[in-house]
């Protein structure tokens, strides 16, 4: 290491990028940026087509938290899977033996009549192999660009993405398989987390098998052929483990296969009950806010119909949020004042009331004043007193309705 523990100037070292495996936001350069054509899904049919292929940016960086390597310039929409699906070659002798071994391990821990889902089934051979070994089960593959028909009755292929919140409750699988899919995704961490959360929400605990390429040996030997556009994420053993640890799963086993070039894991979903509690709390808040929105809109409508003069104190920030959320439009509620002279003469974002200075109310008294920023209400009441500004009623928002500041209970 050089001076100050860096081998290059810090300004050239630090990259603020979000790691797809662990979510950390600091990375460092890993391979010098370059432009290369697609490597696996293009299949040019002529010399001219091959030489004229569009080149896409490779900007591989490495997360300083979990060691994950990823292309910071990756754009999933630039990969034309709809025209040229990326299906693995599964006929190699050693690779086929690995597949056979993985299938056996799956079947050894599955019930007699399993429901198995494969995310990204490709040519369908892996799923159909399971079905041949255990025909009493039900096997469902999801892949927008994969095989569409199967010659085994207990196998179904769906030409769509697997959506955890939709398909997990519908199918209630015993096992979910994801083989050589995560390295293509923009956000593999988010996908596994959504699987885990969905399982916890519906109270099921299916097994999940994940398999991805591992670049430990590529890093150790200085190999660069692994780093091409379609593989956005390049997992190390450390980044693979870190991703799983951040997903609320029970890790049953992690190991390497195919001479260390592939890392895989069996995990148990449905353990993140704390996330479910937070979600329930959020839904309760959402329901409460929906009800309060209706209440306050109705109260404002009633105020307008009453014919009373109304002023809203504050025209930006929280006050602007109040005005827009509760539909306090400029036609019905034209008077907006503010204590800050620098805002005077500007207009409320979204609704367009011109913001007047506070003292405008001394010559044009309002019968009702609404103070949206409750935490400032006490200061504003003192300000009104000092400058002789009076109103019959001062409202703040509290407990889902407009509350009379002077006569009703509140903490402000």
Full 3-state SS string of the chain: CCHHHCCCCHHHHCEECCCCCCCCCEEEECCCCEEECCCCCCCCCCHHHHHCCCCEEECEEEECCCCCEEECCCCHHHCCCCCCCCCCCCCCHHHHHHHHHHHHHHHHHCCCCCEEEEECCCCCHHHHHHHHHCCCCEEEEECCCCCCCCCCCCEEEECCCCCHHHHHHHHCCCEEEEECCHHHCCCHHHHHHHHHHHHHHHCCCCEEEEEEEECHHHHHHCCCCCCCCCCCEEECHHHHHHHHHCCCCEEEEEEEECCCCEEEEEEECCCCHHHHHHHHHHHHHHHHHHHHHHHHHHHHHHHHHHCCCEEEECCCHHHHHHHHHCCCCCCCCCCEEECCHHHCCCECCCCCCEEEECCHHHHCCCCEEECCCHHHHHHHHHHHHHCCCCCCEEEEEECCEEEECCCCCCCC
Enumerate the CATH 3.40.50.150 domain ranges in the chain, comma separated.
Answer: 93-275
What kind of architecture, by CATH, is found in domain 297-404? 3-Layer(aba) Sandwich (3.40)
Q: Please give the Cα distance from 156 to 407 (Å, whole number).
A: 66
CA dihedral 169, 175, 176, 178 (to 10 degrees): 180
pLDDT values of the chain reduced to their tens digit, one per residue, 412 residues:
445 565 678 878 899 999 999 999 999 999 999 999 988 877 888 999 989 899 999 999 999 999 999 999 999 988 886 555 555 555 667 778 888 889 999 999 999 999 999 999 999 999 999 999 999 999 999 999 888 888 899 999 999 999 999 999 999 999 999 999 999 999 999 999 999 999 999 999 999 999 999 999 999 999 999 999 999 999 999 999 999 999 999 999 999 999 999 999 999 998 889 999 999 999 999 999 999 999 999 999 999 999 999 999 999 999 999 999 999 999 999 999 999 999 999 999 999 999 999 999 999 999 999 999 999 999 999 999 999 999 999 999 999 999 999 999 999 9
| This prediction's pTM | 0.84
Q: Please give the Cα distance from 183 to 86 (Å, whole number).
A: 12
Q: Map tokens 């195919």 to a residue.
A: 258
Give whole-number Cα distances, 302 to 52, 148, 329, 335, 411, in Å: 68, 59, 14, 17, 25
The residues with which 310 forms a beta bridge, in sequence order, are 368
User: What backbone phi and psi angles, to 5 degrees, belong to 328?
Assistant: -85, 75
**CATH superfamily for domain 93-275:** Vaccinia Virus protein VP39 (3.40.50.150)
The pLDDT value recorded for residue 90 is 58
Enumerate the CATH 3.40.50.720 domain ranges in the chain, comma separated.
Answer: 297-404
Q: Structure tokens of 12?
A: 């050239």
User: Cα 282 vs. chain centroid, distance in angstroms?
Assistant: 16
């Amino acid at each position: 290491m050089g001076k100050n523990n860096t081998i290059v100037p810090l300004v050239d070292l630090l990259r603020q990028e979000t790691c797809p495996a662990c979510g950390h936001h600091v990375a460092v350069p890993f391979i010098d940026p370059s432009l290369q054509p697609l490597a696996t899904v293009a299949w040019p049919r002529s010399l001219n087509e091959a030489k004229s292929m569009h080149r896409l940016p490779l900007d591989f960086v490495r997360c300083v938290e979990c060691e994950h390597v990823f292309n910071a310039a990756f754009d999933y929409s630039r990969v034309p899977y709809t025209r040229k699906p990326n299906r693995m070659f599964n006929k190699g002798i050693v690779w086929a033996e690995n597949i056979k071994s993985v299938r056996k391990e799956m079947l050894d821990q599955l019930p007699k009549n399993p429901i198995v889902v494969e995310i990204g089934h490709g040519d369908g051979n892996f799923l159909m192999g399971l079905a041949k070994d255990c025909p009493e089960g039900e096997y469902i593959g999801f892949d927008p660009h994969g095989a569409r028909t199967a010659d085994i009755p207990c196998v179904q292929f769906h030409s769509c993405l697997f959506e955890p919140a939709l398909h997990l409750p519908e199918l209630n699988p015993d096992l979910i398989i994801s083989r050589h899919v995560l390295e293509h995704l923009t956000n593999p961490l988010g996908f596994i987390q959504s699987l885990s959360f969905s399982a916890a929400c519906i109270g099921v605990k299916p097994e999940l098998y994940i398999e991805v390429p591992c670049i430990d040996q590529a890093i150790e030997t200085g190999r660069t052929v692994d780093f091409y556009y379609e593989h956005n994420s390049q997992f190390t053993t450390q980044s693979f483990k870190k991703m799983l640890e951040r997903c609320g799963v029970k890790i049953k086993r992690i190991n390497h296969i195919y001479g260390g070039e592939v890392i895989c894991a069996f995990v148990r979903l449905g353990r993140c009950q704390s996330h479910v509690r937070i979600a329930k709390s959020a839904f309760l808040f959402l329901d409460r806010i929906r009800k309060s929105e209706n209440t306050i809109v109705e109260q404002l409508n009633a105020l307008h119909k009453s014919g009373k003069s109304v002023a809203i104190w504050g025209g930006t920030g929280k006050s602007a949020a109040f005005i827009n959320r509760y539909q306090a439009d400029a036609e019905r509620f034209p008077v907006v004042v503010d204590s800050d002279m620098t805002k005077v003469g500007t207009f409320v974002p979204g609704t367009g009331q011109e913001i007047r200075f506070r003292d405008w109310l001394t010559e044009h008294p309002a019968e009702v004043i609404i103070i949206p920023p409750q935490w400032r209400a006490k200061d504003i009441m003192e300000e009104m007193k000092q400058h002789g500004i009076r109103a019959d009623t001062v409202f703040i928002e509290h407990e889902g309705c407009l509350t009379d500041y002077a006569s009703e209970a509140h903490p402000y």
